[in-house]
Amino acid sequence: MMNKFDSTKLQPRFDNTKEGWLLQIYSGDRRLLYVLDPSHGWAFLLGCGFGLLVAVVWFNLAIHQTPPKTFESNSTASEIWID
């Protein structure tokens, strides 16, 4: 028994909307230097967010651990020494 030939299985699909993006960086002599995948972008954004979180927490801890500045006022006037 012979199966029918299905031509749709051989045709490539051009629906690239689900695959995300890909950035390729080439040099002047058309050699591939670097490829940026979507995972690189997510890792960069995750690192920026984590760095911002650490900076905010560090800043808040630094403010609350410094002793408050108090100024003591002398009620008596200091003496002036004149030679």
- The pTM assigned to this predicted structure is 0.47
The pLDDT, as a whole number, for residue 11 is 60
Highest mean pLDDT among 4-8, 27-31, 65-69, 70-74: 27-31
The pLDDT, as a whole number, for residue 29 is 92
Q: Above 70 in pLDDT, residue 75?
A: no
**Is the model more confident about 43 or about 77?**
43
The pair of three-digit structure tokens given for residue 82, joined into one six-digit string = 């004149």
In the block, tokens 């408050």 appear at: 68
Torsion sign over Cα 48, 50, 56, 58: negative
DSSP for 5-65 reads P-GGGTSPP---TTS---EEEE-TTS-EEEEE-HHHHHHHHHHHHHHHHHHHHHHHHHHHH
